[in-house]
Structure 1
Amino acid sequence: MTGNSDDFNADELQTPEWMNTDFFLKVLKNCEQKTSKIEIVNVSISPASMKGDHYASVIFRALLEFQVNGVRKTKSVILKTMPESDGHKKEMLGKTDIFEKEINMYTKVLPRFEKILRDSGDNTVLKVPCLYSALMPKKVIVFEDLVSAGYEVVRDRTLNEKEVKAAYAMLAKWHAISYKINLEEPQYFDEFQRGVFNMSNIANEPFMTSGIINFVDLLRKTPSLHAYLPYFEQLKPKLLESCRESYAEYRESPKEGACYVLSHGDFHGKNMMFKHQNESDEMVNVMLLDFQICYVGPNVNDLIYSIYCLLDENLRLDFPALLYYYYTIFKDTLANIGFKGTSPTLMQIRHQYMRHKNLELFLLVTFLPLWYALNEKADMEDMMTSDEYRRSLYNSKDYIKYLEHVLPRYLHLGYLEE
């Protein structure tokens, strides 16, 4: 293991007993020829992520040394499983269907998406290879290790424009394919009904419900922000519910002409891995990760989510151009895969974006303070479980400075009107 143990999530420092030789033999038998004789020589297990990378899973890296028909081999794999230690994480996630959903994505949905792309002459890879998955006796997914292929999670800096555009291009292709399938075979996505705001275990968590309360308190005590207090006091009782309605719109009250797709649901920089050229450090590819909270909903929700979970302050100013870039890829992909219907126009997508503006305000008042803190190596467990700690995050000078800049813009754009 490299790095200090404080760099890793506590539940990834202790290997579960069931991750043993017998388990890894199952994994390898699923990868190699069924008639091969496989013998495991050694297994080394370590954490596969850093604090702040994620919260909804426990992730390990295993370096496997083994023999196949007497030939020595090595393979590095990533294991994603559910939390087993009693505590907040296990309690919050225990009754969700996030693993069932992600296994479905890797074994059914994404392979179909890739076949549609291949049939149109597009070799884009949408997923890391899944080597093994199971729901019993333990929920686990085993992937090829992208680090071994030269990919990395970008840490200690924000993403640059080229990296962001690559992520939007990947998302646009995914959205376009799912848009076509959902119109032609709406039952295909029946298992993807609930986004994060429709999962009561998560939506009712204090970190979701207390953001607007802490934000209004901040406005009240900050003279430079007093003017915005009436707007957000009015919004306070209904902000979270409006986000729930947004995520459930396709199932509960679909709008004519809206663009509904299979949304990623958690489209942020730590759910991506990038491959760069060693010599120039130029980005050459991106892989999206973590499909646990995918759902069918407005395509703009992933885009709105990206404003505060993917872009830095400078790229947020360029969002209209980034949206246009996404739209061109979306429209071209629909044409390439043989969509015969009428494609949504850019203006329709912009109108839809404005109709779901409360999601952007929710992210501003609830998620953005957390992102500022995570950039300073804050403890995610504290963020999720401590009301006092979350309140303290609203004292960030950088956050207040950003609010002084962005709230006038929201006022001028009409975001603060009914």
Structure 2
Amino acid sequence: MPDNVDAEQFNPDELVAPEWLNAKFIGDVLSAYENSPELNVTDLKITPASAQGDHYASVMFRTTAEYTTSKGKFVKPLIIKTMPEQEGHKKDMLSESHLFSTEIGAYTKALPEFERILREAGDNTQLYVPCIYHSLAPRQVMIFEDLVPQGYSVIRNRPVKEVELKNVFTKLAKWHAVSMKLMNEQPEFLKEFQYGLIEMPTLMSDPMVTSGMDTFLKTLDKIPEVTKYKPYFEKIKVDYLQRMADVMQEFRKNYQSDGYYVMCHGDFHLRNMMFKENGDVMFVDFQICNLCPITIDLSYSIYMLMEPEQRWDLGKDIINYYFSVLVETLKKIGYKAEMPTKAGLWKQIHRHKYYDFFLMTTFLPMILAIKANTLKMSEIIQDTATREKAFLLDSYVEEVKKLLPKYEEMGYFKDL
């Protein structure tokens, strides 16, 4: 690790690069990518790629490779993404998952076709940054050009701006629209994308997930204004995780004729996006892209992306904006099936309320603590005491005070 790197800012397993990540490996990658057999790496700097709290489901390094070819001297900034090698919770959770095969498929098959369809319709929206190298064996690795030198950065210490949110949901709507067209016209094309969050082997038994409701119920006892809602959550605590899983797997296991299904990003939160000063956004981290209800990205974004002022109305304005772009894009690309309706979308969001219950009781306190840089992601995920602290943060208590009455107004507590 370089002397100027502050170890406290980064994940411990990203402080020292594995032995295989060296000048020879990067040289072979660049030589193949640029079709330059004589390419020679003359210097290689390796540092952690992102700050604590930006990600968990991989290990990432930033490299700057200086190299020569017959055409001269060059510098290439790269991001290397690989699976955890250190023993521990992260490796146990991720080692048997389909994360890398899913993301490789997204970069090499799905997203290029999405962009091709948009280009054919006269839309030059860029949905992804090309992957310059990928491998599943002997190790799982992906390499990309670094977006930071191109002017992109992750939002960490300020709220996301309205213009940035609109750009996010414009791009998401176009992504979803193209996937709807492909799912309708070429149902086999995206069939391999069947592994979402629920299919991660140990997730549903991990304390991070299983302890959420009990901790939430204890929190309600400490908030007099909303204690009256506790019986609703007591009633569902036995099976709400299964009901949440049913929502996420609906396309594959319980297809509904009136459902809207797309290829979702699957982990649509602020740290999986990079922005330019002009508000332009680039999505990253496609490890759990899968075919599922349209609500998986939309509801997730309410809790994991939006600011409180948008969330307290369950994202109504921005989701309606997203829907207008979705329909406009479907028309533009020649979608042949029945057009979705705004009423149909909100009906589906309401029908999938158990997904909201899970996100609000389990993921929201964690993301608020991470966004505020109050607690470390790895400690929230792995340590019960740290996780419980997130539920007592003022920011989370205020959210609960606003969200539960909104759920009641929306009828979420009826027929539980």
How does the TM-score come out when normalised to structure 2?
0.96
What is the aligned partner in structure 2 of residue 303 from structure 1?
A: 298
What is the aligned partner in structure 2 of residue 28 from structure 1?
A: 30
Residue type at the aligned position of 1:136: A
> For 1:323-344, what per-residue CA distance to the aligned partner results, in whole angstroms no more than 9, with x for missing partners?
1111111111111111122111
What is the aligned partner in structure 2 of residue 396 from structure 1?
A: 393
Q: Please say if residues 131 and 142 of structure 2, whose CA atoms lie closer than 8 Å, have aligned partners that are also in contact.
A: yes
Determine the C-alpha separation between the residues in 2 that align with 1:360 and 1:85. 34
Residue type at the aligned position of 1:18: W
What is the aligned partner in structure 2 of residue 60 from structure 1?
A: 61
Determine the C-alpha separation between the residues in 1 that align with 2:36 and 2:306. 49
Secondary structure at 1:80 match in 2: strand
> For 1:108-136, what per-residue CA distance to the aligned partner results, in whole angstroms no more than 9, with x for missing partners?
11111111111111111110121111111
What is the aligned partner in structure 1 of residue 14 from structure 2?
A: 12
Determine the C-alpha separation between the residues in 2 that align with 1:317 and 1:386. 29
Determine the C-alpha separation between the residues in 2 that align with 1:397 and 1:39. 54
What is the aligned partner in structure 1 of residue 84 from structure 2?
A: 83
Determine the C-alpha separation between the residues in 1 that align with 2:317 and 2:71. 56
Aligned equivalent of 1:370, options 366, 384, 390? 366
Determine the C-alpha separation between the residues in 2 that align with 1:198 and 1:137. 23
Deviates more, 1:360-369 or 1:199-208: 199-208
Q: Please say if residues 308 and 364 of structure 1, whose CA atoms lie closer than 8 Å, have aligned partners that are also in contact.
A: yes
Determine the C-alpha separation between the residues in 2 that align with 1:270 and 1:372. 12
> For 1:210-266, what per-residue CA distance to the aligned partner results, in whole angstroms no more than 9, with x for missing partners?
101101112234433220110110111121111110111011111112111001100
Determine the C-alpha separation between the residues in 1 that align with 2:219 and 2:258. 39
What is the aligned partner in structure 1 of residue 202 from structure 2?
A: 201
Secondary structure at 2:64 match in 1: strand
Determine the C-alpha separation between the residues in 2 that align with 1:199 and 1:186. 24
Q: Please say if residues 133 and 140 of structure 1, whose CA atoms lie closer than 8 Å, have aligned partners that are also in contact.
A: yes
* CA RMSD, 1 decimal: 1.4
Residue type at the aligned position of 1:299: I
Q: Post-superposition shift, 1:348? A: 0.7
Q: Post-superposition shift, 1:398? A: 2.5
Q: Post-superposition shift, 1:382? A: 1.3
Q: Given the alignment of the two structures, is residue 335 of structure 1 paired with residue 336 of structure 2, yes or no?
A: no
Q: Given the alignment of the two structures, is residue 292 of structure 1 paired with residue 294 of structure 2, yes or no?
A: no
What is the aligned partner in structure 2 of residue 323 from structure 1?
A: 319
Secondary structure at 2:276 match in 1: strand
Structure 1 residues 377 and 395, CA gap change in structure 2 (3 angstroms):
closer
How does the TM-score come out when normalised to structure 1?
0.95
Aligned pair count? 411
1:19-418 matches, within 5 Å, as 19-32=21-34, 34-69=35-70, 71-276=72-277, 282-283=278-279, 285-317=280-312, 319-374=315-370, 375-418=372-415
Q: Please say if residues 105 and 291 of structure 1, whose CA atoms lie closer than 8 Å, have aligned partners that are also in contact.
A: yes
Determine the C-alpha separation between the residues in 2 that align with 1:313 and 1:148. 31
Q: Please say if residues 94 and 200 of structure 2, whose CA atoms lie closer than 8 Å, have aligned partners that are also in contact.
A: no
Secondary structure at 1:213 match in 2: helix
Where structure 1 has 5 or more consecutive residues not aligned to the other structure, the ranges are 277-281
Secondary structure at 1:188 match in 2: coil
> For 1:170-227, what per-residue CA distance to the aligned partner results, in whole angstroms no more than 9, with x for missing partners?
1111101111111122222221112112333222211011101101112234433220
Q: Please say if residues 30 and 131 of structure 1, whose CA atoms lie closer than 8 Å, have aligned partners that are also in contact.
A: no
Q: Post-superposition shift, 1:321? A: 1.5
Determine the C-alpha separation between the residues in 1 that align with 2:398 and 2:346. 28
Deviates more, 1:238-247 or 1:93-102: 238-247
Structure 1 residues 371 and 35, CA gap change in structure 2 (3 angstroms):
closer
Determine the C-alpha separation between the residues in 1 that align with 2:203 and 2:147. 29
Q: In percent, how many aligned pairs have the same letter? A: 41
